[in-house]
Amino acid sequence: MLTGEFNYTPNSDHTYDAIVIGSGISGGWAAKELCEGGLKTLVLERGRKVEHLKDYPTATKNPWEFKHHGDNTLKIQEDNPVASKCYAFDESTHHFFVKDKEHPYIQQKPFDWIRGYQVGGKSLLWARQTQRWSKFDFEGPARDNYAVDWPIRYDDIAPWYSHVELFAGISGNRDGLETLPDGEFLPPWEMNEVEKVIRQRIVDNYKDRSVIIGRCAHLTKPKQIHLDQGRGQCQARNLCQRGCPFGGYFSSNSATLPTANKTGNLTILPNSVVHSIIYDDKKGKATGVRVIDAHTKQATEYYAKIIFVNAACINTNLILLNSTSSRFPNGFGNDNGLLGKFIAFQNYRGNISATFDGHLDSYYYGRRPCAVMMPNFRNVYKQEMDFKRGYMVFYSATRAGAGHGVDGQQIGGDYKDNISEAGGWDIYMMMQGETLPKETNLVYLDKDKKDDWGVPLVNVSVDYDDNDVKLMNDFLQTGSEMLEKAGCKNITPYDNHWPPGLDIHEVGGVRMGKDPKTSLLNGWNQFHNCPNVFVTDGACMTSTGVQNPSLTFMALTARAVNHALSELKKGNLG
């Protein structure tokens, strides 16, 4: 870490220049930029204190050091029917996940809400895939008429993509693609031999498709800016969800929060459940935040000139819906009745497995933290399919053990020899599709049920539609065709029937836009009707592209803070 302990003691008068709600990926960036801009900043985190290195208890444990060798017990699965579906939830990471029984919510339709309540939030758990949006993504809603027009374009955010990429450390190759702009990259990871063969055969057969190595927030070769953060090179351990003791991947805990702390302007209050934002009718602006102590249940108010809401999409919607006043009786900023509506997510239902013959003299080393990917090639330049928008494709080639026993035997020397011998190549391909923001996909507060802190439970009513099914079916057919042309065998497409939410890419509900009648935030992420409150996490998104969203959250946050600092200096927000 850059400095010692964070400041956990609030000011005696509870007054700051800025308050940030949430300490995850976007909240960490808000804290860093605000503190570096000279503002005394309070970060409110509803979960417990977690500090880099110190609070990663399983980071260096071996499998045999876990009571159940890393697996979830039946009891854990029964008690956590939602969390246990997540790929990262196991015996080594339970402490970073919200337990289902402790924090209930109401599913009007099946929705798997994955949460991480601690300092750093889900930045300790994210899959770290980072791609820029292209001009087509920001222009898409206006072109396809499925959502309101974005108030910004790629050129507005491009410098801020560069700003966060340089600090976070993003590995990738400069591929020169219009559909997936290049960034400020560290050296890329490498495809293995079979992945390269498949890539070549796909691009030879499909002139409209590109196949590139994934881009991810891992330090393949740290630069001075990363070493100054106290971070080191990624070791390709694939134990990232335990917390990285090397700081090899980007998280709030290893990067933005320590950097904010170095300024002397940061105060973090863990165990602070935000109840609502305080609006002053006489001043015509928000003046602070009402907080419930997670342990004592005591209510406290904190005050600031500007407030950044970064609690993660659904919790941000929840807080704003619960922030009622005589000015905003239906939720904060909700003059148009759209707060909590037009939720979108990403479609992961399409999957394909296959095998690949030959190349048995080749293998790979390390545990690469990214797959091979194909940028979207559907409906990019024009509407050409019977569904709207498109999908990104990921694939990987791996070799597992040659077998799981000899003549049914699961013990002994023959079994050991068999599984230690590499088998053939397995291919896995998946989609990451865009869903359409719809008014019927919404979250709202329950009128009767409240949590242990007196906050109404959130109802989630989000589902797939015909467009999502058509898009998935196109991937299953097209992906199978590509693998066949690439020489794969035993091609098996399937729908995993995941409910929404398990993608962990939910966005919307507090969308940006040009018109206050059809959106809540302007092009700087400010509420149209209360400009000293900003929302820069997933809730602000007007639509969702096919790319992983976290890099865009980071860039939007840095851009919004820069604007806020400028407006404060002009006296427009103070």
Residues 6+ apart with CB under 8 A from 520: 333, 334, 336, 338, 339, 510, 511, 512, 513, 527, 528, 535
Q: Is residue 341 part of a domain?
A: no
Q: What is the pLDDT of residue 408?
A: 53
pLDDT of 556 strictly over 70: yes
Q: Is residue 509 part of a domain?
A: no
Beta strands 285-293; 456-461: pairing state: unpaired
Same domain for 368 and 488, yes or no, is yes
User: Within a 10 A sphere around the Cβ of 177, how many other Cβ atoms?
Assistant: 12
The dihedral formed by the CA atoms of 33, 38, 40 and 42, expressed in degrees to the nearest 10: 0
Distance (Å) of CA 93 to CA 33, 51, 118, 125, 294: 30, 15, 13, 9, 22
Q: What is the pLDDT of residue 1?
A: 40
Share of the chain above pLDDT 90, in %: 93
Q: Return mean pLDDT, the chain.
A: 95
CB 340 within 8 A of CB 181: no
Q: Is residue 379 part of a domain?
A: yes
Using 50, 70 and 90 to split pLDDT, how confident is the model at 421?
confident
Residues 6+ apart with CB under 8 A from 221: 186, 187, 233
Same domain for 281 and 361, yes or no, is no
DSSP β-bridge partners for residue 494: 351
Mean pLDDT, range 9-27, rounded to an integer: 97
Q: Is residue 343 part of a domain?
A: no
pLDDT of 203 strictly over 60: yes
Same domain for 279 and 409, yes or no, is no
pLDDT of 3 strictly over 80: no
Q: What is the pLDDT of residue 559?
A: 99
Share of the chain above pLDDT 70, in %: 96
Q: What is the pLDDT of residue 403?
A: 54
More confident residue, 421 or 270: 270
Q: How many helices (H) and strands (E) does the chain have?
A: 11, 22
Q: Is residue 489 part of a domain?
A: yes
Same domain for 57 and 88, yes or no, is yes
pLDDT per residue as tens digits for the range 60-100:
999 999 999 999 999 999 999 999 999 999 999 999 999 99
Same domain for 42 and 157, yes or no, is yes
Same domain for 202 and 237, yes or no, is no
As a whole number of angstroms, the distance between CA 538 and CA 564 comes to: 19
pLDDT per residue as tens digits for the range 129-159:
999 999 999 999 998 888 899 999 999 999 9
Same domain for 197 and 228, yes or no, is no
Q: What is the pLDDT of residue 410?
A: 62
Q: What is the pLDDT of residue 419?
A: 67
Beta strands 106-107; 341-344: pairing state: unpaired
Q: What is the CATH number of the domain that holds 283?
A: 3.50.50.60
As a whole number of angstroms, the distance between CA 451 and CA 442 comes to: 20
Query: Where does residue 20 rank: exposed (0-12), middle (13-18), buried (19+ CB within 10 A)?
Result: buried
As a whole number of angstroms, the distance between CA 181 and CA 162 comes to: 11
As a whole number of angstroms, the distance between CA 490 and CA 560 comes to: 49
Q: What is the pLDDT of residue 400?
A: 80
pLDDT of 128 strictly over 50: yes
Range from 54-68, 308-322, 397-411, 444-458 carrying the lowest mean pLDDT: 397-411
Residue by residue, what is the 3-state secondary structure of 480-531?
HHHHHHCCCEEEEEEECCCCCCCCCCCEEECCECCCCCCCCECCCCEECCEE
Same domain for 187 and 223, yes or no, is no
pLDDT per residue as tens digits for the range 434-481:
999 999 999 999 999 999 999 999 999 999 999 999 999 999 999 999
Query: Where does residue 328 rank: exposed (0-12), middle (13-18), buried (19+ CB within 10 A)?
Result: buried
Residue 357 belongs to domain spanning:
178-213+349-388+390-435+464-499
Amino acid letter, residue 328: F
Mean pLDDT, range 17-40, rounded to an integer: 98
Q: Is residue 66 part of a domain?
A: yes
Q: Coil, helix or strand for 194? A: helix
pLDDT per residue as tens digits for the range 157-201:
999 999 999 999 999 999 999 999 999 999 999 999 999 999 999
User: Within a 10 A sphere around the Cβ of 521, how many other Cβ atoms?
Assistant: 26
CB 414 within 8 A of CB 406: yes
Read off φ and ψ for residue 38, nearest 5 degrees.
95, 5
Mean pLDDT, range 515-531, rounded to an integer: 98
Beta strands 350-356; 422-434: pairing state: antiparallel
Same domain for 221 and 209, yes or no, is no
Residue from 64, 66, 84 nearest 74 by CA: 84
Mean pLDDT, range 242-268, rounded to an integer: 98
Domain count for the chain = 2
Q: What is the pLDDT of residue 474?
A: 98
Residue from 433, 407, 373, 444 nearest 195 by CA: 373
pLDDT of 44 strictly over 60: yes
Amino acid letter, residue 523: G
Same domain for 165 and 197, yes or no, is no
pLDDT of 2 strictly over 80: no
pLDDT of 510 strictly over 90: yes
As a whole number of angstroms, the distance between CA 125 and CA 116 comes to: 8
Q: What is the pLDDT of residue 411?
A: 67
Q: Is residue 446 part of a domain?
A: no
Mean pLDDT, range 324-348, rounded to an integer: 98
Mean pLDDT, range 367-395, rounded to an integer: 96
Same domain for 98 and 220, yes or no, is yes
DSSP secondary structure code for residue 540 in this structure: G
Q: Is residue 165 part of a domain?
A: yes
Same domain for 375 and 229, yes or no, is no
Q: Coil, helix or strand for 153? A: coil
